[in-house]
Amino acid sequence: MQDKKARFDLSAKEGLSLLGETPLVAETPEELLDDETTPIARFFVRNNGLLPQPVDDAESWTFTIDGEVERRLDLTVAQLKCRFPQKTFRMVLECGGNGRSFFEPEAEGNPWTHGGVGCAEWTGVSLGDVLREAGLKETALFTGHFGADPDKHGSHERQAMSRGVPIAKALEEHTLLVWAMNGEPLPFIHGGPLRLVVPGWPGSLSQKWLTRIWIRDREHDGPGMTGLSYRLPIRPLPPAYRLPIRPLPPGSNGQGIETRILESMPVRSIVTAPADGRRYPEGTRSIEVRGAAWAGDDDVARVDVTVNGGATWTEAATTLPRNRYDWVRWHASLTLPGNGYYEIVARATDSQGRAQPFRAANWNPNGYGCNVMHRVAVTVGPEV
């Protein structure tokens, strides 16, 4: 039954690669992320459990804020729309495991390439405005997010996923309670009628089918918050030390290691044109390449492209983001010395000077935050 529903929902999607059916997980091939605003039909899907019951009346969907607040609030979508200032921001939503398949040896989890990401226009209200109405107590330190979806065995007793953020992140203007995506009512598969969007941080914080935000006096401990979930080994060296050292030998089980929760996602770029495998006519000496880049909480400082394994780089032209957490689009003309096989590689650098690595660095058992450079192979002239 659940399986049928899952398949039905993916039929509204165009060209996604299925990574798992139950729970439903599908990513977007990089060349389909060529739009400034990712169309809903191309937006990736990540579920950790089964789907909840769809509802007929989105306006009466209710969610609760309770815990360390002066007043518990039970608000419908209709009330959210009229009681708080509405905001629309274009923002990147990216799975914490995006890029995981490039880790060697293989890390635990869905084998995302670079397509566990999309950038949509999200409309809603700032969670902070609603939290201020509830009145945060001094003991309010963390959020805990709850959705209506049962876990992957169909149990409503256990949350499929329940993560949370420090109060400061919850109070950022761009952390939204969202009911519309690209100007349309938020689709069911993306969490409609109501979801959170917590930009810049792992997508798992952006709770779909939102029913409750529990304000807590300590770090939240729901599924997805404990053990090795969304955690990275702590680097033994100060952050200024930028060599690609590995705090954990690849393949280790991670037992007994010190970890921290993954917050901001690392800088990443993708090549969205040409598509991997494209062939150009013999004699082509100049090609146009373009793509997107984003950097979690940070800004993209520059994007560089190479066709010779990094021997020389061409700086790409980048667009200005519309608002914080929007991605930048980039393009460049590359000169080719002759016919043959080339690999186009893009490298983004954030405003703190951190660039993407050539090889997957920072291996960790659950495979988070792999931001290795994206590589696209093309050929000029006949097959050799």
Ligand X SMILES: Nc1nc2c(c(=O)[nH]1)N[C@H]1C(S)=C(S)[C@@H](COP(=O)(O)O)O[C@H]1N2
Q: Which is nearer to Mo ion, 95 or 265 (CB)?
A: 95
The β-bridge partners of 382 are: none
51 vs 248, beta carbon nearer ligand X: 51
**Segment lying near Mo ion (by CB under 5 A), choices 91-99, 167-175, 319-327, 371-379:** 91-99
**How do beta strands 62-67 and 45-46 pair?**
unpaired
- 3-state helix/strand/coil string of 121-136: EEEEEEHHHHHHHHCE
CB of 128 to ligand X, least distance (A): 20
Give me the least distance between CB of 94 and Mo ion, in Å please: 8
192-211 residues in contact with Mo ion (CB under 5 A) are: 203-204
Which residue number, 95 or 134, has a Cβ lying nearer to ligand X? 95
Considering only residues 24, 65, 95, 210, which one is a binding residue for Mo ion as defined by CB under 5 A? 95
Is position 118 an interface residue for Mo ion (rule: CB under 5 A)?
no
Toward ligand X, which CB reaches closer, 158 or 302? 158
Tokens 């599908």 found at = 26
- Order of strands, sheet of 374-380, starting from the edge strand that comes earlier in the sequence: 279-280, 374-380, 340-350, 300-306, 314-315
Q: Based on CB atoms, which residue is closest to ligand X, 261 or 336?
A: 261
User: Which among 205, 372, 190, 208 has a CA at the least distance from the CA of 297?
Assistant: 205
Contact 300, 350 (CB under 8 A): yes
287 binds Mo ion (CB under 5 A): no
| Residue 100: CB minimum distance to ligand X, A | 12
Question: Reduced to 3 DSSP states, what percent helix, strand and coil does the chain have, rounded to the nearest 5?
Answer: 10, 35, 55
Question: Residue 206 and residue 93: Cα distance in Å, rounded?
Answer: 8
Residue type, 357: P
CB-wise, 46 or 347, nearer to ligand X? 46
Contact residues for ligand X, defined by CB under 6 A: 43-49, 93, 95, 147, 149, 160-161, 190-191, 203-204, 206-209
For residue 257, the minimal CB distance to ligand X (Å) is 23
Q: Which two tokens stand for residue 377?
A: 């192979």
Side chain identity at residue 57, one-letter code: D
363 phi/psi in degrees, rounded to 5? -55, 140
Name the one range near Mo ion by CB under 5 A: 44-52, 205-213, 279-287, 352-360: 44-52
The distance of closest approach from Cβ of residue 92 to ligand X in the complex, given in angstroms and rounded to an integer, is 11
**Which residues here bind Mo ion, judged by CB under 5 A?**
46, 95, 203-204
